[in-house]
Structure 1
Amino acid sequence: MRKNTMVIIGSLIVFFIVAFAIWRGFPPFQLHTDKFPGLLHEAAVQSQDIAVKIYKSERKLFLYANGEVIGIFKIALGFAPVNDKESEGDGKTPEGKFVICYINKQTPYVYFYGLNYPNAEDAERGLKQELISQEEYKQIAMAAKSGNIPLWKTPLGGEVGIHGGGTWWDWTQGCIAVSDADILTLKEYLKIGTPVEIFP
């Protein structure tokens, strides 16, 4: 009886460890750079032309150096992943062209790379829909032109970025999540001004 109890307890412990690992996106449940073995670190930080392309429907982030793909990473999206982001709290991940405008190294999700959402196009839509004022539109448009942090506290939403935390399901408020291990890889490449294009 005691032996059976120990087996059950042991099985439960293993189950919860595996479930937690899956949820956090730890190996072997993350997609690394199998198509480009060794190239990621050979390209290194010295590359002059780093860019990111994200394909929401594929749940993949492509890392480019000098126009060539050097890494592919599995991602999770906002809890309502279909279609473009429209407003604060809608759970959608925005689509369009952005740049990294903010880096937070003190976050529960290891690193946070903030995007300049809303951009000029989002601001124009927000103005037409009367979600933002003319002054807010001007401030967002100016920030988009300079690559600075836009107004994040408007009905359009904000504080969207790339961070760790795991990829098992679409769980964020609109951000792009990768595994904790992958955000540590990406931090060697991502910087202020890195272009990020997000496709449906």
Structure 2
Amino acid sequence: MITRRMFLASSATFAVSACSSKFKTYTGPVVTRVQVFKGQRAMQLLHHNTQLAAYKFELGFAPEGHKAFYGDGRTPEGAYRINRQNPNSRYHLSLGISYPNADDIAYARSLGREPGGDIFIHGTPRLFAGQTDWTYGCIAVSDDEMEDIYAMVRVGTPIFIYA
């Protein structure tokens, strides 16, 4: 039999866990562009020409240069789109980047290699917190920052990644 005390305790636990959801709500201006400046480790979320938010991040273990093929540890450079949201990412939350495009595929194949893929903006597991450039080509922010970015950026948003 459920006592009143057990009911109140379980209700309180549920209420607290509901408040700690990793899914935030964003009601501000639409993010129309994401800009990533690899050299400065700076990412900007923009509404047209107005900056809405800015974040520092970590990159792949070989941060210099454009991603050429699978396993090179580089982050792509160029114009892409956010092409998916992953609420079940092993890196908290993640937003997919549309790498590789046709040019990326052609270049990698000209080298006799595969271009790779699965490039994301994602959170940072505790294991890698405080480490520099530890991903395999992704853009890593803190989990708290990723919650904000995930709420703000929609599938289809252009992302421009600069050296």
Q: Give the shorter-chain TM-score range.
A: 0.7 to 0.9
State the AA in 2 paired with 1:197. F
Counterpart-to-counterpart distance in 2, 1:49 and 1:71:
10
The structure-2 alpha-carbon separation of the partners of 1:82 and 1:101, relative to structure 1 and needing over 3 Å to count, comes to same
Report the equivalent of 1:102: 84
Unpaired segments ≥5 residues, structure 1: 1-40, 132-154
Counterpart-to-counterpart distance in 1, 2:27 and 2:157:
12
Counterpart-to-counterpart distance in 2, 1:183 and 1:48:
17
Residue-by-residue CA offset, 1:75-118 (whole Å, 9 max, x unaligned): 00000101110111110111011101111101221111111100
Q: How do 1:1-200 and structure 2 match up within 5 A?
A: 44-45=26-27, 47-131=29-113, 155-165=114-124, 166=129, 168-200=131-163
State the AA in 1 paired with 2:70. E
In the superposition, the TM-score normalised over structure 2's length comes to: 0.76
Counterpart-to-counterpart distance in 2, 1:102 and 1:58:
26
Counterpart-to-counterpart distance in 2, 1:64 and 1:74:
15
Unpaired segments ≥5 residues, structure 2: 1-24
State the AA in 2 paired with 1:91. G
Would you say how many aligned residue pairs link Structure 1 and Structure 2?
135
> Percent identity, aligned pairs only?
34
Question: RMSD of the TM alignment (CA)?
Answer: 1.8
1:100–1:196 contact (8 Å) kept in structure 2: yes
Alpha-carbon shift at residue 190 of structure 1 (Å): 1.1
Alpha-carbon shift at residue 121 of structure 1 (Å): 2.1
Q: Normalized per residue, which structure has more helix?
A: 1
1:162–1:178 contact (8 Å) kept in structure 2: yes
